[in-house]
Structure formats: structure tokens, C-alpha cells
Amino acid sequence: MHADIVVLPGDGIGPEIVAATLPVLEAVASRFGHAFSFAEHDIGGIAIDRHGVPLPDATLEAARAADAVLLGAVGGPKWSDPKAKVRPEQGLLAIRKALGLFANLRPVRPHAAALDASPIKAELLAGVDIVVVRELTGGIYFGDKTRSDTDATDLCRYSVAEVERVVRRAAALARQRRGHLTSVDKANVLETSRLWRDVATRVMREEFPDVTLEHQLVDSMAMHLLSKPRAYDVIVTENMFGDILTDEASMLAGSLGLLASASLGDGKVGIYEPIHGSAPDIAGKGIANPYATILSAAMLLRHSLGLEAEAAAIEAAVSAALDARVFTADLAPSGQSVGTTQAAQAVIDRLG
Ligand code: NAD
């Protein structure tokens, strides 16, 4: 197949990890007989420097026309003045919103060779394979806000349609996996959560009778995620709960440098990016871990292009590289480590 992929390297280590990932995609294309074209555009701090805005029109137009978007990271000290009118992160929020990307998927599958990197006991982590699906465009982050000298409010609002579409996304994913969906809310206290629970229950009964549904309160979920992470398959939750739970879940895998993400909507175009930031402390040194970006590229193949075997081939190659202890410095602080390019090459060498 032919696919047009828009590449947004961004700031800090973004250009390094993206540059290391494109040869992996090219190697997959040549092995499986595909043609991927890559068009690079600006987003974040570099876009502010070059165009005065964090999301130039040309970037958004290219993303709308593309099959998928691969993103590095945005931000850095140069653009972090809190009084600045334009900030790199605005570019990210704007592109997700403009493309209607309402579901953020974060797989968490701790790798055997990297178990030591997690603060959680290794025996709890073996076999953990979770995808957290976080609602991305609604809830308290986007509701009306007020502030006076004596108080402040943030409105949390969800519509039936917003809950339906993200539950459907998560349930469809669970159907392709182990067939179990955990819906997380705070239905004992919040009205939006009671709506969430009612809608999730109905959608699952009517459309996904083959997928088991379990409701979990967010406070107990925070506990169970660490005490029995193997019990979960797909977890779906609203925006703020998802923000917090996905960061908690990332600790199961140890390094930020191993965690990929996809932001998806109803169309096929999605944005694929590592969950970490632009790591200004190591930018330009050639030591950033590229695995999270490479695994994000695997998600791109799976979710936007429908290339499951190709995605699985990348994931297996990253696993094999980790098995062979091809570690960047974040995974092997006191041991032997390789640079960004060598780690990516190790993946290419193991693509089979
Ligand atoms: P960060 O994720 O950039 O870095 C946290 C720590 O993890 C640092 O010590 C960094 O060196 C390390 N790290 C991160 N990714 C790594 C990798 N691939 N390999 C090796 N080590 C890695 O978070 P931060 O320091 O809080 O933020 C830095 C900048 O990134 C800020 O401007 C922030 O706003 C931005 N940020 C962007 C995104 C995004 O683009 N989606 C997400 C989070 C933070």
C-alpha cells in the first residue's frame, strides 16, 4: 500500500527520536512491499520561532490530508515563560482538537528485560498487558471556568454522544484483545460519572455483548492498578481520571522512554507520539531512547493503516532488542548503553 505520513519532529529530543524512527518505517515498507512518503512540518517551539504560531496552517492542512501523523515532542525552556502569549503545548492541543481526536490510547506492557526499571515488584508485573483509553476532548479540562478573589470553579460536562464514541472505541479494542473492558468513574459522587456509567452499560449491552464490562471507581482503580495490574485488559475513562491513571500506569513499565501513544477520532488519521516530553536535559546528545517513538510508529501502522502484521513485526523487534539488552542510558544508568541511532538500528536488524 501507499501511505502519506506527516512527520512533526517538534523540539528537544523530538527531531532525534523521529529521525531514528523513520528508517524503521522504511525498513518495514521495503520488507512488506509498501511505499510510505514522509512530509515534515513544524509544530511547537520550532513553529513559534519560524512562523510565530505553535500550529501553522500548513502543518494542520498537511495533517488533515495525511493518512497518519507521527510526532516527536514539543516544548522546552526557551518557550516556557508563563507570561508568553504563545506556547508550544498549544500546538498539540490545537491539532488534536482540529482533527477531532477524542480517544487517547496508551498501551502498558512491561518488558521482561526492563522490569528492574520499574519501582513495582517484578512478580506483579510479569504478564501485564493493558491499554488505557482516555477521553481527550471533554470533561473538566474543557468546561467553563470562573475565578474571583474568594473562589474558583471548573465545570465538568459530558454529553451522551461523547461517552458513546469513546466507549465504542475502547470496546472495539477490547474485542480484538482479551475481551474485557473496565470503565472507570466516580459514580458514587459525580453526576457526569453516573451518566458515563449508564451510557457505558447501554452501549456494551446493545453493541458489545461479547465483551465483559466491569465498572470501577477511580479511587480503587488507582490502588488496583498497582496491586493487581494483570487483572486489566482495556481501561476506559474520562479526561482527568485518564490523565492521572495513565501517568500512574506508565510507572509499571519503568522508563518513559518505552511508552507509546495514539490519539484517535472517528476518521482514520491519528496522531502517534511517545508519552514523554522533549527532554531538554539530554537533547542534542544522541542518547535519547527511541523505542517509545518506534512503538508509536507500530501503533500508526495498526490503527491508521490497518497493517497489523507490520505493527507486530516492529513490536517483536523492539522486544528482541530489549531481550538482547540493547539499552539506552535511561534503561541502563550504570551499565553499558548505546545511543539513539544504534538502538533504532538494533530494531531494524531484528525485523527479520
Ligand atoms: P520529559 O518527559 O521531557 O522528561 C522527563 C525526564 O525523562 C527527563 O529526565 C528526560 O531526560 C527523561 N526522558 C524523557 N524521554 C526520554 C527518552 N526518550 N529517552 C531518555 N530519557 C528520556 O518531561 P519534562 O522534563 O517534564 O518536560 C520537558 C519539556 O517537554 C517541557 O517543555 C514539557 O512541557 C514538554 N512536554 C511535552 C510533551 C509532549 O510533547 N507530548 C509531553 C510532556 C512534556
Q: Tell me the per-residue pLDDT of 141-167, one tens digit each, with 9 for 90 and over.
A: 989 999 999 999 999 999 999 999 999
- Other Cβ atoms less than 10 A from the Cβ of 166: the count is 30
What is the percent of the chain where pLDDT is above 70? 100
Average pLDDT over residues 258-265: 95
Bridge partners of 37, per DSSP, are 4
pLDDT in tens, 181-202: 999 999 999 999 999 999 999 9
- Other Cβ atoms less than 10 A from the Cβ of 104: the count is 24
Residue-averaged pLDDT of the chain: 95
CA 73 to ligand 1 centroid distance, Å: 8
Nearest atom in ligand 1 to the alpha carbon of residue 76 is 32
CA 329 to ligand 1 centroid distance, Å: 15
3-state secondary structure of 296: helix
3-state secondary structure of 209: coil
CA 274 to ligand 1 centroid distance, Å: 10
86 is in an annotated binding site: yes
pTM of the model: 0.93
> Which residue carries 508519552 as its cell?
275
- 52: confidence class by pLDDT, cuts 50, 70, 90: very high
Pick the CATH number of 119-239 from 1.10.287, 3.30.70, 3.40.50, 2.60.40: 3.40.50
| Residue whose CA is at the smallest distance from ligand 1 atom 30 | 277
Q: Say if ligand 1 is within 6 A of residue 73 CB.
A: yes
CATH of domain 1-114+259-352: 3.40.718.10
- Amino acid identity, position 46: I
Report the catalytic residues: 141, 186, 219, 243, 247
Q: Do the beta carbons of residue 16 and residue 288 sit within 8 Å?
A: yes
| Residue whose CA is at the smallest distance from ligand 1 atom 23 | 277
* Domain ranges, ordered by start, for the chain: 1-114+259-352, 119-239
175 is in an annotated binding site: no
Q: What is the pLDDT of residue 116?
A: 78
pLDDT in tens, 22-33: 999 999 999 999
Average pLDDT over residues 291-310: 97
Q: What is the pLDDT of residue 51?
A: 98
pLDDT at 117 over 80: no
- 113: confidence class by pLDDT, cuts 50, 70, 90: confident
- 333: confidence class by pLDDT, cuts 50, 70, 90: low
- 138 vs 90, 158, 305, CA distance in Å? 16, 6, 27
Which of 192, 203, 137 minimizes the C-alpha distance to 170? 203
Average pLDDT over residues 304-322: 96
Lowest model confidence (mean pLDDT) among 113-117, 134-138, 210-214, 300-304: 113-117
